[in-house]
A = this chain, B = another copy of it.
Amino acid sequence: MSGNKEQKLILGVDIGGTKIATALATACGEIVAPGRNPTHAQAGPDAVINSVLSTIEETMASGKVDSSQLLGIGIAVAGIIDSDNGEVISSPNLPGWHEVPLGSIVQQRFGIPVYLGNDATLAALGEWHFGLERKVANLVYITVSTGIGGGIIASGKLYTGACGAAGEIGHMIIDVNGPPCNCGSVGCWETLASGTALAREAAKQIAEGANTSIAELAGGDMSKIDAKIVFLAAKQGDELAKELISRLGYYFGVGLVNLVNIFNPEIILVGGGVAKIGDLFLRPAIKVVEERAFGTLVDVVHIKPALLGDDSGVLGAVAFVLERSGAPRLNHSER
């Protein structure tokens, strides 16, 4: 390795609904010092921003660096992000945030370049940059948790669209007559294939008198049912839980068919909490792709679990700094 930029470290931040995660990392994606604090999103923008600033400071202190040793700070946030102006336009995870100039606030505090982007978009970049063993030109990254988000690498480049908001794949309509979505539309992919959809279906079946251990595992509190509990029940052999996950995988597969037919990608990576269910969820999804997408496209696509786990967001933010600051990209062979 040569050049100053590569020797400098990068600080990645991932602001989630419940936690702020940070990583001080090398240009090769090695995490030197991680950081973590609760978001306290309900306390509003000022409190969250202060928490972001102090988490960054703590991480620098723990890594024994000051900002002059950093190439820049990358920040991943869910929602509609204006990367060019470093603004959070709106975020489903952060109530009260409306056109918040988070980029310039952080930049003013630390005096180094700050790059802000959508979390799933940056995660795609992180997976592509640091996760893959062999680079491909076209990749779709999907995160499935309470919602569905995504990021796209097109022709060897992060695809962000006209205003940096591309990749809202969770709001693809796959059932024109489907259930209403939080976004105001109906039948969006995430209303049928997310963790929220799984929990809703489980609660519905229980209300209709289904024989299942899910209610028991939730301590009898229907509002406590989530994807994790349904997965736990499935692992213990609960038939309804297995059936619900398989059905979720089916709907997930329908969205995958669309992405395969639209993007003809080499790789689709599936991350997020629901993806942790593994084969029970992913196998029926891939089956739908094999049955319904164009054969030539199915032959070239690899659909598999994401590679960076919970670090995809922070490492995506790190990769975004490398990309935006024009630092040379390292191939894995150079690592």
Contacts and interface: CB of A to CB of B under 8 A. Distances in A.
Interface of A: 80, 89-90, 136-138, 152, 154-155, 157, 159-169, 171-178, 183-186, 192, 251, 254, 257-258, 261-266, 291-294, 296-297, 300-301
A166 B262 contact: yes
Contact of A174 (B137, B138, B173): B173
A124 to B, nearest CB: 13
A137 B166 CA distance: 13
Contacts of A292: 173, 183-186
Contact of A89 (B89, B176, B184, B296): B296
A168 B137 contact: no
Nearest to A250: B176
B264 A176 contact: no
Contacts of A175: 174-177
A86 to B, nearest CB: 16
Given A162-B264, A168-B261, A183 B294 contact: yes
Across the A-B interface, give the 4 residue pairs with the lowest CB-CB distance, nearest first.
Answer: A161-B264, A166-B264, A185-B292, A168-B261
B169 A261 contact: yes
Contacts of A264: 160-168
Given A168-B294, A169-B261, 12 more contacts: A90-B296, A155-B159, A160-B264, A161-B264, A162-B265, A162-B301, A163-B300, A166-B262, A171-B293, A173-B257, A174-B174, A184-B291
A258 B173 contact: yes
Given A157-B155, A163-B296, A294-B183, A262 B138 contact: no
B162 A137 contact: yes
B294 A166 contact: no
Given A138-B162, A159-B155, A162-B138, A262 B167 contact: yes
Nearest to A299: B163
A169 B166 CA distance: 16
Given A162-B264, A169-B262, A185 B257 contact: yes
A173 B301 CA distance: 18
A94 to B, nearest CB: 16
A173 B160 CA distance: 23
A331 B335 CA distance: 41
Most buried by B among A89, A138, A176, A264: A176
Given A159-B154, A264-B161, A264-B163, A171 B294 contact: yes
Contact of A258 (B138, B157, B183, B258): B258
B172 A265 contact: no
